[in-house]
Amino acid sequence: MSRNKLTKFAEFLAFPNTYTPWEEEKSTLEQWNPKHLPVTMELAAGTGAYTVALARTYPERFFLGVDIKGARMWTGARAALDAQLDNAFFLRSHIERLEENIPQASVEEIWITFADPFLAEGSAKKRLTSERFLGIYSRVLKQGGLLHLKTDSTPLFTYSLETIRSWRGEKGEHFLLENVLHDVYADPTSPEILTSIQTTYEKSHLAEGRTIQYLRARFVAL
């Protein structure tokens, strides 16, 4: 591991807007969000650029970036501190273990932006819209909470539409698709939030001529 990465890991651990469960004393969402603002999570947040941009745009909400790669999230955490954003926080965690740190029915929205589509044969269960992950989201989302997916991967988008439409929880909980856009930048109905905030990855994808797709689904608990 490079010295630069080790330095970022150490700084990430020391930042006041981050939490690494296995390195620190127990901390809670309530402590991270003392104003009790509505909570939005970005999963597989990477450098945290989307989390920071959302926090700037919506100061009345609390944004939590989640990723296992602390050296990457260092960028977003540092940017949030420099901008004095008190509504952006970063959790270093595997998404499979989300429920260890996020209480049930505590999240208003989940964003998945340009996540790894895991296209290799046999890797579908790793996709963040697979059935096991939808089950996790159903437990941390509030009734009526939203799940957003933004991607340049058509196979992942098609797969996600199928799993979201078919998924059912033990008590009949499900996700109701509310908006499906097959080309965000060509569709005149695209919400402004989808085009006004662009990560480095998205800008690169657009420069390469890739099509950006989006869906929004609402969690319905029975």
116 noted as active-site residue: yes
Residue range of the domain that includes 79: 3-220
9 near 70, Cβ under 8 Å?
yes
**How many Å apart are CA 38 and CA 60, to the nearest integer?**
8
CATH of the domain at 184: 3.40.50.150
Q: How confident is the model at residue 163 (pLDDT cuts 50, 70, 90)?
A: very high
**How many Å apart are CA 119 and CA 32, to the nearest integer?**
35
**How many Å apart are CA 78 and CA 5, to the nearest integer?**
14
Helix (H, G, I), strand (E, B) or coil at 208: coil
Average pLDDT over the chain, rounded to whole?
Answer: 94
State pTM to two decimals: 0.95
**How many Å apart are CA 89 and CA 64, to the nearest integer?**
5
Per annotation, catalytic residue among 86, 116, 152, 187: 116
Q: How confident is the model at residue 6 (pLDDT cuts 50, 70, 90)?
A: confident
For 164, the enclosing helix (H) or strand (E) is helix 154-166
The position carrying tokens 């657009």 is 206
What is the total count of domains within the chain? 1
89 near 17, Cβ under 8 Å?
yes
